[in-house]
Amino acid sequence: MKYIDEYRDATSAEKLINQIRSVVTHPWTIMEICGGQTHTIVKSGIDDLLPSDLTLVHGPGCPVCVTPLELIDKAVAIASRPDIIFTSFGDMLRVPGSEKDLLTVKAAGGDVRIVYSPLDALKLAQKNPEKKIVFFAVGFETTAPANAMSVWQAKQLGLKNFSILCSHVLVPPAMEAILSSPLNHVQGFLAAGHVCTVMGYEEYITLASKYHIPIVVTGFEPVDILQGILMTVKQLEEGHAEVENQYTRAVRREGNRSAQELMRKVFETTDRSWRGIGIIPKSGYRLRDEFAEFDAENVFDIAAIHTQESPLCIAGQVMQGFKKPHDCSAFGIQCTPEHPLGAPMVSSEGACAAYFHYGKMNYRK
Amino acid sequence: MCLAIPGKVIEINAAVSPIMGKVSFGGIKKEVCLELVPEVKIGSYVIVHVGFAISMMDEEEAQETLKLINQMNDLENE
Ligand code: SF4
């Protein structure tokens, strides 16, 4: 397929790997933000082909992984009600809550449906006026315009039976949280290309200079990632700390203004709790007051929830780059994709699932 | 979940709000919201995420990236 196949080309990849090898003279640690990039890296074996001086650690860019446990429990509570059609992206269904996941609710007769787009949830609301349709609106800046549009449209259509359970998170505050941690050892970032298609990359410029760290906006195919790594390593070796754009075919400096405008109309920034990490100031979106009637947390009175995380799971440390999945004592033993203890073992973007699926079991010390 | 893939716009329905259209992903056609890419034309390539086109593909930039990598190789062979 155009714009994909060229960026999976083995010859180009090899050239880039050779270049990287010739440039690296020091040990460096680079974090790729997005879970989609993590999967490309692990699946295509990029991490094994890089010089041993170069360490890739995996970032928090997996929306499914960072959705707080309390919200999963709320989703389970809402989805269990008889008057509800609960809609969600497929990935969320198997994420473990304190007691159960959404798939268990579905198996017990709950009307839980996987949708491809939030607009599908909106269609369900129009078709089923006697039911209340709730959409689990998780995601980063990439998904925010779509979810904003669903609420915007619901208001235009005057829908009274549609709401979203909102857990939107934002990338730059999470990067800042990682950088300001005393445990941090990340020296360069591959920024998430698709987040930047929407937001652009101006907001990274302050981050790069404040923490003196190179940030390279990077795409998702193997050639993209290798080129992103090469650009980052060159900066590191030369002592630069700039924002560069590898993913120029899709990302403009200012991002997608139409999308940003819609997001601004519907959402406002708020502090958000990230699963395994904790509260990060101004790191998420919530619905503006004008859209309060579409906020499932307002619509449904959910009793206080006592959350219980698995004591074995170290997902928070994995997602901040302090640990790798195989450093977790439960990895591949008590925690597998069939019986996940934490969200990164479930999601198609979770680092633990990537390591499990692509045979990194034997990495365990 | 941030999975987003490029496809070719083959149909635009600007009469509806939000603007919708059809995008072909190597022959597989899907209905996609085009409201957020106002400059879209038939034949444009867009990046689609959860049923929404979120960005236009820039052919020149795409070529430029590949050219850069190719040249990289030539330099090494010299
Ligand atoms: S392997 Fe499982 S238990 Fe360990 S950090 Fe990953 S998700 Fe958590």
B50 and A116 within 8 Å at the Cβ level: the answer is: yes
Tally Cβ neighbours within 10 Å of residue B57.
Answer: 17
The pLDDT score that the predictor gives to residue A305 is 80
| Domain encompassing residue B30 | 5-77
Q: How many CB pairs under 8 A join A and B?
A: 133
The pLDDT score that the predictor gives to residue B78 is 42
Please report, for residues A182, A274, A283, A284, B1, the alpha-carbon distance to residue A271 in angstroms, rounded to integers and kept in the order given. Answer: 21, 10, 5, 6, 22
The pLDDT score that the predictor gives to residue A365 is 40
B2 and A16 within 8 Å at the Cβ level: the answer is: no
Q: Are residues A232 and A345 in the same domain?
A: no
Kindly state if the Cβ of A331 falls inside 6 Å of ligand 1.
yes
Q: Are residues A204 and A349 in the same domain?
A: no
Instruction: Kindly report the CATH number assigned to the domain that includes residue A211.
Output: 3.40.50.11740
Instruction: Tell me how many domains chain A contains.
Output: 2
Mean pLDDT of A300-328: 89
Q: pTM of this prediction?
A: 0.92
Query: Which of A16, A143, A248 lies nearest to residue B50, judging by beta carbons?
Result: A143
Kindly state if the Cβ of A318 falls inside 6 Å of ligand 1.
yes
Q: How do residues A61-94 score in pLDDT, each as one tens digit?
A: 888 889 999 999 999 999 999 999 999 999 899 9
**What percent of chain A clears pLDDT 70, i.e. is strictly above it?**
99
Contacts of A149 (CB under 8 A, 6+ apart): A118, A119, A262, B18, B33, B35, B36, B52
Q: What is the ipTM of this complex?
A: 0.90
| Domain encompassing residue A61 | 1-311
Instruction: Tell me how many domains chain B contains.
Output: 1
Distance A325 CA to ligand 1 centre (A): 7
Instruction: Kindly report the CATH number assigned to the domain that includes residue B40.
Output: 2.30.30.140
Q: Which of A291, A311, A331 is the last residue of a domain?
A: A311
| Interatomic CA distance for residues A193 and A61, integer angstroms | 11
Q: Are residues A199 and A274 in the same domain?
A: yes
**What percent of chain A clears pLDDT 90, i.e. is strictly above it?**
82
**Residues of B contacting chain A (CB within 8 angstroms):** 1-6, 8, 17-18, 25-26, 33, 35-38, 45, 47, 49-52, 54-55, 57-59, 61-62, 64-66, 69-70, 72-73, 76
Q: How do residues A159-206 score in pLDDT, each as one tens digit?
A: 999 999 999 999 999 999 999 999 999 999 999 999 999 999 999 999
B76 and A256 within 8 Å at the Cβ level: the answer is: no
Kindly state if the Cβ of A62 falls inside 6 Å of ligand 1.
no
Q: Are residues A1 and A29 in the same domain?
A: yes
Q: Are residues A291 and A349 in the same domain?
A: no
In the structure, what pLDDT confidence band is assigned to residue B1 with cuts at 50, 70 and 90? low
